[in-house]
Each structure stands twice: as structure tokens, then as C-alpha cells.
């Protein structure tokens, strides 16, 4: 995956003094929302709402994926492609897990929405959907933060996203995913050698669309190509943050032209990403979700949280680290086992109920590279006993031992995770939400009771 970033001139000059322009970390972290479910908000859980949006004399079908929590949420409008076979529901769900509302629509005449499908109608529908998100009644009903509304689109939806943002100067930004420059299709339609194949390509996508045909859509492209010029739109929205993602085996050449048009218009915050995949991102779904959520982090840093990046392997022992303070009794924890050398206690943000940490009370080893074989042997012996107690006391089928060094390590004091496992349930190695102290203590009591000498 290749990623480019263009900023304003002043920022470019400053960045250039410290690092090469368009540089990025070798391995960008995967946001937590891509791979892990958030804790359920009991008072205001995540939800879905189905409704219709008025546009062009009809009401098109729409859906809102509502993020949990009672505060106003940043919101993303997701516009589908032509005809929209790839719905990108996984992307929308990941964005919701990141704390965003996500709204989608079906353009008039598509996938059961009333009316006749056309490119002009779809443009109006995208603009109407964005206006719907700005209606004060809807802002209150769906807990929308109107200052942080981003419009995203895949394929034809990329064009529609750019159009909607260009029509709304208050839109915060745009995401164009392997966008289709519809107007450029005119060249193939007016070329006698290419017209038949171009019409067939249009025709193959019309079954889910009402009131149209390949010939009608071709005529619309031929007669209104200037209005369907995505390069021109890319220049018009270059005053706001824009993310362009191209698929190397599909629309990447188009994406590069769109990015060039934005840069020519003095783009203030353009990010380009190119992935080695097809138009549907069939084998790059996680990469796609991660890229989108990282980019959305500029509007809501918490949404792009990627968990613990790691700590240096070599450094002096920090006597103020949390585990050192726990050993000294400065921080109370729910204990399941303790002797003069080893302490086992409950993780405050468990990967699974009953997640236990085992640490040495006598060794100041920061990681596995520093601990003596004798101290490690004592830790592992207690970890095994804890695992057996989890099986016996919690009724689980097994347990997993995890020990991180540097990458993935959150506290610079060697510790062993003992995590109960339920057969068939995957274990996500990410930073989890804090658990309820009462629930954690209740589970700890069951493990303590099952601990064997």
C-alpha cells in the first residue's frame, strides 16, 4: 500500500525540514474499531434506524447506523456505487464502532427506492441526504454533530460524494474510494470501436435500477459530461480535507488524475492511498477500513485509537510504573493469588471475563530478555495454576497465555496474561474497554475459590 499526503504550503515547508514529504510509518497501526467491538453502552446502545429522505418528489430509502452514547456524534454519509452491488456494510459498521454515525441511502430508482434512476437524480439525492443530516430536527433525533459531517462514496458514489461536498461549503471533508469519473466515459461512448463494449458495461449494471437503460444513461453521459466531470469537482473540494483511495487493479489511474487536479487547485489537506486490489477491495477490506478510520481521526482523535503501540525494549526500570506501585500497595487490585515472590491479579480491561495478570514481586525485569530463568519459572508455575482455576471456577474450555515484549506491551514490568477461552470464540488482541469493578471482583472470587495449592 502506498500513501501520499499533501498539505498547505506552510506545513509542507515545516515538514520538509524534519522528514521527507509524503513519508509515513512503515507499519501504520490498525485502529481498534476495525477489529474489536466496543463495550455496550447500557443507557444509549448502538442502534439502527430506517427512514426515507425526500428528494425530487419521492422519498428514497435510507438507513442510519447510530453510534452508542448520548453525545452528538461525528457523522459520515456513505454513497454507494453503480449500481451498488458492493454495499460496504463492513466499512460502515467499522466507522460506527469508531464512534461515528453512518447514514446510507439508495438513490431514486435503485434497490427499491421509488422513482427513475439517473446520474442527475443521484446527484440530487446525495445532496438531499446531506441536507437531511443538517436539519435541526434530525440533528437532535440522531445525535449528529453538524460541524463534523463527512461524505464518503465508492465508485460512482465517489463522484456523488464530491458533488455533495462541493454543494455544501460546511461539509467537513470527502472520501473518494476508487471513484468513477463518469464524464470521462463519454470518450468511449463516442468512439465507434469502443461504444458497444461501453454500452454493454452499462447494461450489465442496470438490473437493480428502475426507469432507465444503458442507452438512456449513455445519452445522459454524452449530453451532460461537463456536469459529470470528477476532476473539476476534485478541484472544487480541494479547500477541505479529502481522502482518495485507488485500487491498483481498477481505478488507480483515475484516482491519480483526480489527486493531480486537487493539487493543481492548491489542495490544503489531500491524502492519497493506493492498494494492490480490485475495484471492490475484495482482498483489502481491513486495509480499507483502517485507512478510512485513521483519516477520520483528524476530526475525532478517539475514533482512530489503535491500542498500545509498545514501549522500548531497553531502558532503565521505572519505579513509578503501575505494576511497581501495585506491588508497593499504592494501587489496590483484585488479587487471585499472592506469595512472597509472585502476584496474580485481575486485568482492569479484560479481553475476556476472568483475564488475569501474573507478575514478579522481586524481579525488576521489564521484559522476557531481562528476567532470570528462576524468576520466569516461578511466574509460569503460577500462570498454570491460574489457568486451571479459570477452567475449574469459570467453566471455560481452556485458557491462553500471552506475554508481550516491546510491541504490544503497555507496562514496562514483565507480566503474563492468562486469558480464559470459550471454544469457538475468537480472541482479539487489542486494548479493551475497562470492565465494571463489581463484575471483575465477582469473577476474581470464583477464580480464588478454585485456586489449588
Catalytic residues: 415
Chain length of the chain = 453
From CA 287, how far away is CA 309, in angstroms rounded?
18
Q: Where are the beta strands (DSSP E) in 178-328?
A: 242-247, 269-275
From CA 416, how far away is CA 114, in angstroms rounded?
58
DSSP reduced 3-state for 291:
helix
Q: Where do runs of H (alpha helix) occur along 46-111?
A: 89-97
Q: Is the dihedral of CA 385, 386, 387, 390 positive or negative?
A: positive
Residue 267 to residues 45, 56, 148, 348, Cα–Cα distance (Å):
38, 33, 19, 45
Torsion, Cα 41 286 403 387, to 10 degrees, reads 60
Let me know: does 280 contact 251? Beta carbons within 8 Å.
Answer: no
Residue 428 to residues 287, 293, 397, Cα–Cα distance (Å):
17, 18, 17
Amino acid at each position: 500500500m502506498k500513501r501520499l499526503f499533501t498539505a498547505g504550503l506552510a506545513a509542507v515547508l515545516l515538514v520538509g525540514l524534519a522528514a521527507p514529504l509524503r513519508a509515513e510509518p512503515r507499519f501504520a497501526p490498525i485502529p481498534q474499531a476495525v477489529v474489536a467491538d466496543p463495550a455496550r453502552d447500557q443507557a444509549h446502545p448502538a442502534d439502527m434506524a430506517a427512514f426515507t429522505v425526500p428528494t425530487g418528489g419521492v422519498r428514497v430509502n435510507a438507513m442510519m447506523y447510530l453510534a452508542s452514547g448520548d453525545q452528538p456524534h461525528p457523522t459520515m454519509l456513505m454513497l454507494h456505487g453503480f449500481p451498488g452491488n458492493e454495499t460496504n456494510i463492513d466499512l460502515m459498521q467499522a466507522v460506527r464502532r469508531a464512534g461515528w454515525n453512518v447514514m446510507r441511502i439508495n438513490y431514486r430508482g435503485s434497490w427499491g427506492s421509488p422513482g427513475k434512476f439517473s446520474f442527475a437524480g443521484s446527484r440530487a439525492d446525495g445532496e438531499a441526504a446531506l441536507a437531511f443530516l443538517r436539519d435541526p430536527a434530525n440533528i437532535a433525533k440522531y445525535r449528529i454533530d453538524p460541524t463534523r459531517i463527512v461524505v464518503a462514496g465508492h465508485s460512482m458514489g465517489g463522484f456523488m460524494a464530491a458533488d455533495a461536498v462541493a454543494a455544501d461549503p460546511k461539509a467537513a471533508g470527502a472520501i473518494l474510494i476508487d471513484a468513477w469519473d463518469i464524464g470521462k466515459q463519454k470518450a468511449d461512448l463516442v468512439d465507434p470501436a469502443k461504444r458497444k463494449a461501453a454500452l454493454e458495461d452499462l447494461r450489465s449494471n442496470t438490473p437493480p435500477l428502475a426507469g432507465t437503460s444503458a442507452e438512456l444513461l449513455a445519452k445522459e453521459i454524452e449530453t451532460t459530461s461537463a456536469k459529470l466531470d470528477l476532476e473539476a469537482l476534485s478541484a472544487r473540494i480541494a479547500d477541505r480535507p479529502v481522502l482518495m483511495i485507488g485500487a491498483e487493479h481498477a481505478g488507480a489511474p483515475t484516482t491519480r488524475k483526480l489527486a493531480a487536479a486537487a493539487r493543481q487547485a492548491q489542495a490544503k489537506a489531500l491524502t492519497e492511498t493506493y492498494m494492490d486490489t480490485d475495484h471492490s477491495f475484495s482482498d483489502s477490506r481491513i486495509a480499507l477500513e483502517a485507512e478510512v478510520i485513521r483519516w477520520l481521526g483528524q476530526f475525532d482523535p478517539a475514533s482512530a485509537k489503535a491500542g498500545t503501540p509498545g514501549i522500548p525494549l531497553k531502558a532503565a526500570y521505572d519505579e513509578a510504573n503501575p505494576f511497581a506501585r501495585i506491588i508497593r500497595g499504592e494501587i489496590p487490585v483484585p488479587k487471585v493469588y499472592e506469595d512472597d515472590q509472585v502476584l496474580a491479579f485481575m486485568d482492569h480491561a479484560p479481553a475476556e471475563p476472568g483475564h488475569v495478570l501474573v507478575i514478579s514481586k522481586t524481579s525488576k525485569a521489564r521484559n522476557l530478555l531481562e528476567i532470570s530463568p528462576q524468576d520466569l519459572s516461578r511466574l509460569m508455575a503460577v500462570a498454570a495454576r491460574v489457568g486451571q482455576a479459570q477452567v475449574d471456577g469459570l467453566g471455560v474450555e481452556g485458557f491462553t497465555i500471552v506475554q508481550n515484549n516491546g510491541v504490544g506491551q503497555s507496562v514496562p514490568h514483565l507480566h503474563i496474561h492468562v486469558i480464559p477461552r470459550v471454544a469457538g470464540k475468537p480472541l482479539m488482541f487489542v486494548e479493551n474497554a475497562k470492565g465494571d469493578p463489581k463484575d471483575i471482583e465477582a469473577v476474581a472470587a470464583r477464580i480464588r475459590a478454585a485456586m489449588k495449592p
